Structure 1
Amino acid sequence: MPDKTLICKDCQKEFVFTEGEQEFYKEKGLVNEPQRCPECRKAKKARYNRNRYQHNAR
């Protein structure tokens, strides 16, 4: 399974989906490739956690 170059759906930047990451996805039963680069995934997760915390604080 060779590395794949994918395009981030948020920033349109190319990123590499490595052979090791592909194996990890396969082991976990994940069938879809990532749609966001690692930076955008991290930012999305931070936004989700921030919004979740604010919602629970009410």
Structure 2
Amino acid sequence: MEDRNIVCKDCGNEFVFTVGEQEFYKEKGFENDPVRCPDCRRARKQQMNKR
């Protein structure tokens, strides 16, 4: 495995999906790569908590 660059679907910025993050996702059983950067993920989570 190696670090991968992914483009955020919300803001369009590129972010790095590190080997450590990939291992964490695999350990948790997640099959899909993240589609949002950490900042957009955090903002979306806050929005969901306000509902």
TM-score, normalised via structure 2 length: 0.98
**CA apart distance, 1:26:** 0.5
**Structure with the greater alpha carbon radius of gyration:** 1
> Which structure carries more helix by proportion?
1
Root mean square deviation of aligned Cα: 0.4
- 1:43 paired with 2:11, answer no
Q: Which segments of 5 or more consecutive residues in structure 2 lack a partner in the other structure? A: none
Identity of aligned residues (%): 61
Q: Which segments of 5 or more consecutive residues in structure 1 lack a partner in the other structure? A: 52-58
Tell me how many residue pairs correspond in the alignment: 51
TM-score, normalised via structure 1 length: 0.86
Partner of 2:4: 4
